[in-house]
Chains A and B, each alone.
Chain A
Amino acid sequence: MTRFEKSCYFETSIRMHIPDNFLSTPVWATLDALSIPAVGLMVKRAGRELEDTSIPLLGVMGAFVFAAQMINFPVGIGTSGHLVGGALLAFTLGAAPATIVMTAIIAIQAFVFQDGGVLALGANIFNMAAAGVLAGYLPFWMWGARHRKPAIFAGAFLSVMVSASLALGELLISGVAMPRPLVLVSMALFAISGLIEAAITISVMQALEKLNPELVQRPDSTNWRALAVLSGVAVALGAAGFLWASSAPDGIQRLGLQLGLAAKTGFHAPFPDYTAFTFDSAWLRRATAGLAGLLLVYAVCVAVGKMIGRQRSA
């Protein structure tokens, strides 16, 4: 018991998930509304792809990613890094199953270990499980057959960079004031941890291939157009977050302010009857407007998911 206690996940790792109340309401709510259909799409896709055997497999591999944080990789100057895992899962299980495993991990971390918020679940899932995994899978999918090593390296690096840039961008849009030097320093740190993740992933992949080549996916075994498009979008979003955050933090704050103002004023027109209510509070009005906006985002996502599904079956 005591031996195990020392090695517990929550004592050895750095908390890097966004807690509740760090993101402004429009930001977390939009990301929640985006993540629900995104994960739903991945579950459908994985359900078609996987056999029955895979349900325990996905769960146990999730446990593996947790446990992998105990194995430290020496990276010099007395520090050590550990595996994040999104890219490795994508290369071994496939993109859709990897997304599901990462989603389950993030949910368990939020509920059981208080690492990351519950309202911010959507944001964390979007950053790490959806965008991170897909961005990591893109190079592997495109060049994995011919340039295997660079593709694995680039994928692991991208997966960390994209999730970190998105998280940083979301915090800045939410108006968390960060001085410019701090933003640049954290960018540099993200790049370093991306490189560490890439080095770890590539050496683990090589060791795995020696152990049993069947554990590693063939890059061309999946041929899913929508996946490529989504991965491209994920990389683009990550790049946008990176550029925004590194170039104009003040500009982002202004944009956040403008978005907030738009949410306050722009939605008055569709709900003119509000003055009739006894609760004539700006809060209620804004909440309703926000809810309407969310429903819209959700509806669009579901519709896009349906369209992709139909295209696929046709």
Chain B
Amino acid sequence: MHHVLMDQWSQGASPLHKRDPRAKILALAAFLIVLATTAPNAFLTLVIDAVVLVAGILIAGLPLASLLLRAMAVLPFSLTFGLISWLAGDQLRALGLVEKSYLSTVAVLLVVGTTPLPLLLSGLEALGTPRLLVLVAQFLYRYLFVVSEQAQHIRLAAACRQGIERRRRSGFRAAAGALAVLFARSYYRAEGIHRAMTARAFSGKFALLRRLQFGWADGMFTLAIAAFLILVRIQ
């Protein structure tokens, strides 16, 4: 399963896994910005960028084929728009849409695959994202699978009782009822979670087992990546 797979990937111990999340976020930003300003037909630059990504994947010890396959998720969208641009006579843009959106996706996957999401979010918070937003995202990720499982049960139950696919009118209303029940259950679940967390002395902040530390190695890592990419871009 996709996200569980990513969670497994992000538990590794490679040099990339060990970098501070802030270092990886900044390096990712540098990569994406440089890529966004690269011309679609600057093939040498794009190939070097791709080599950097593949080297990163190998250093991190992530499964190369599986990651490259995952990144193809963006292709249906970009191939469609690429085709439209191609037919409209803008071959250069068509090329850029496909190759650059694919490279961007691989870059994001590399960072997410080497950083557990709670750490990534803490890194974003340390870089200035509002605490409330980060907390909401943490809770969202934590309960995503719980609520999804419940939606699954509700769907099954509704289908058993009256056959959602059969009659259109009542099917629509049944789905609305199912969704309202899911809403109410999520709401009450959140109240329960809050009570439980208050009872366990939740102070409005998640404690990390390992404190974030932006060391020399992290700084050098970000600087080296950014400088290399910019130099390749300017040539």
Q: Which residues of A contact B (CB under 8 A)?
A: 1, 3-5, 7-10, 15, 19-22, 25, 28, 39-40, 43, 46-47, 52-53, 55-64, 66-68, 70-76, 83, 92, 100-101, 103-105, 107-108, 110-115, 117-119, 175-179, 182, 199-200, 203-204, 206-208, 210-212, 215, 279, 281, 283-284, 287
Contacts and interface: CB of A to CB of B under 8 A. Distances in A.
Majority secondary structure of chain A interface residues (helix, strand, loop or mixed): helix
Contacts of A178: 84, 88
A114 B109 contact: yes
Given A58-B136, A67-B150, A283-B37, A118 B32 contact: yes
Nearest to A214: B187
A55 B133 CA distance: 9
Q: Which 6 A-B residue pairings sit nearest by Cβ, starting from the closest?
A: A59-B139, A207-B180, A203-B176, A177-B88, A62-B140, A20-B104
A9 B97 contact: no
Contacts of A208: 180, 183-184
Given A8-B2, A62-B136, A200-B175, 12 more contacts: A7-B152, A15-B73, A20-B32, A22-B78, A53-B194, A55-B204, A61-B186, A68-B182, A71-B154, A74-B171, A118-B32, A119-B36
B100 to A, nearest CB: 4
Nearest to A21: B100
A110 B33 CA distance: 16
Most buried by B among A55, A72, A107, A117: A55
Contacts, number: 261
- Chain B: interface size category: 35 or more
A108 B84 contact: no
Contacts of A176: 81, 84-85, 93, 97
27 contacts: A3-B152, A5-B1, A15-B77, A19-B104, A21-B96, A21-B101, A22-B78, A39-B133, A53-B194, A55-B132, A55-B136, A56-B194, A57-B190, A61-B186, A61-B187, A63-B140, A63-B148, A64-B183, A70-B152, A71-B155, A71-B182, A103-B133, A104-B137, A119-B33, A179-B84, A179-B88, A200-B179
B133 A21 contact: no
A63 B165 contact: no
Contacts of B175: 71-74, 200
Residue with the highest number of chain B CB atoms closer than 10 Å, among A1, A40, A67, A73: A67
Contact of B172 (A43, A59, A62, A203): A203
Contacts of A117: 32, 101, 104, 108
B233 A283 contact: yes
B228 interface: no
B179 A83 contact: yes
Contacts of A28: 36
